Amino acid sequence: MTPKEVIEFAKKNKARVVDLRFLDFPGLWQHFTVPMSELGESSFEEGFGFDGSSIRGWQPIHASDMLVVPDAATAKMDPFFEVPTLVLIGNIVDPITLESYTRDPRNIAKKAEAYLKSTGIGDTSYFGPEAEFFIFDDIRFESSNHRAFYEIDSVEGIWNSGREECPNLGYKPRHKQGYFPVPPMDKFQDIRTEMLLTLEQLGIDVECQHHEVATAGQAEIDMRFKPLVEMGDQLMWFKYVLKNVAHKYGHAVTFMPKPLFNDNGTGMHTHCSIWKGDKPLFAGDKYAGVSQEALYAIGGILKHCRALCAFTNPTTNSYKRLVPGFEAPVNLAYSSRNRSAAVRIPMYSPSPKAKRIEFRTPDPSCNGYLAFSAMLMAIIDGIENKIDPGDPLDKDIYGLPPEELAEIPSAPGSLEEALSALKEDHEFMMKGDVFTQDVIDMWIEYKTDNEVNDVKLRPHPHEFFLYFDI
């Protein structure tokens, strides 16, 4: 849409207010609302002012003024607000220099797309994330100086098989047996379908929805692949819609990677491809029907994976999922069909247009704009430098003898390790000024000070079980 078309769209839908949205540095949507009378065609150039010092990881107090400039192409009507509300996603701009803000995640994603075109490798990068999540009935937690706990409940939780529910009708998925059961075992079919239909109402293409492996309401809804920035926008709408539909029915959705002990965690397998004009760059006659460029792209991801994890798996909880010896893809290898490899080449369709690579290590706690941009930069680096990914690994990784397994490199074992890897390996991200040194430094500083150290300093409840009687 053009700015003029946006205003006509708002009038047609009887919008009374405009909600302006943007992403903070770690990855949560922020917003403020103005009356429709404040939105004119000039607003799409002049923007709206706000306090950038109150946004996590952004401006200091002495340089707090910022502008959010709405992008006309992002206009949608909010499906949840009582008052008809036009939503516009904005780009962040410095009010003095009028330059795009380096720490605005959407700006980084736009620069990544522009850099791809500048290399001549391709015109468009497509991303298709499979974001898993949990639907819980109740969640309570506390972390204070003298007490720490969390407690999760779900009508689907197998731990409730003996609970008095007046009556308890059973049908609760056992641990690791929640994949694809029909109702009454699957108790969230209607809610997931409403999530799917709400996404479609917003113009977001959805491929399927289903129950996932874990007990207690683990689920997945897959969006159809889109270009990088558009998918970054859609991932934010995705999280917003799922949380609000669940909330409407008295449930909570979480994208936390590992909320349950001893059951499957939540991943975000991400499909990637590059096209040049109408040609899919990753289709060819090499292994599994991919091109040499696709193999080089895999080489780039595997080479830089430890650094990528700082953005694709950016929480301390992410590494409760990425544990060697379990199902999570921690081993840095590639394969066709083999889901235990970090990079997989899906074999669902022989069509050249369907050829892509699937990076299985990421999880949905990530900031999509940053994660997809970092992945694209690793792919570009692999192609430009002809990085050989080595031989594919078509064996069961978990059945390999220890001496053979020891030769396969592994993803980081903690957020601290991932940040350390990023500190040592980020030059490939800085090409084309996509990620700046300021962004890398602030990411490492913010994550270390606010997450890594905060978790390291606190006693863990299980430590009392292990050590209190010493």
Q: List, by residue number, the catalytic residues.
A: 51, 130, 132, 212, 220, 269, 339, 358, 360
Q: Which two tokens stand for residue 420?
A: 């350390």
DSSP 54-89: GSTT---GGG-EEEEEE-GGG-EE-SS-SS-EEEEE
Residue 129 parent element (H or E): strand 124-136
Residue pair 372/281 in contact by the 8 Å Cβ criterion: no
Tell me whether the omega of the peptide bond preceding residue 167 falls within 30 degrees of 0, making it cis: yes
Amino acid, single-letter form, for residue 352: P
CB count within 10 Å of CB 256 equals 20
Residue pair 70/43 in contact by the 8 Å Cβ criterion: yes
> At what angle are helices 189-201 and 228-248 packed, to 10 degrees?
140
According to DSSP, the residues that pair with 148 across neighbouring strands are 143
Q: Is the four-CA dihedral 386, 391, 396, 401 of positive or negative sign?
A: negative
The closest alpha carbon to 208, from 217, 218, 195, belongs to 195
Exposure letters 27-62 (e unless 16+ CB within 10 A, then b): beeeeeeeebeebeeebbeebbebebeebebbbeee
Q: Which two tokens stand for residue 431?
A: 């090409």
CA dist 90 to 12, 43, 67, 309, Å?
Answer: 22, 11, 9, 27
Q: Which two tokens stand for residue 223?
A: 């969006």
The residue ranges of DSSP E strands in 277-352, in sequence order, are 279-280, 334-336, 343-345
Strands 85-93, 17-23: pairing is: parallel
Rounded CA separation 360/202 (Å)? 27
Strands 334-336, 343-345: pairing is: parallel
Residue 309 parent element (H or E): helix 292-312
Q: What are phi and psi of 214, to 5 degrees?
A: -75, 160
CB count within 10 Å of CB 175 equals 16
CA dist 220 to 135, 188, 189, Å?
Answer: 10, 11, 11
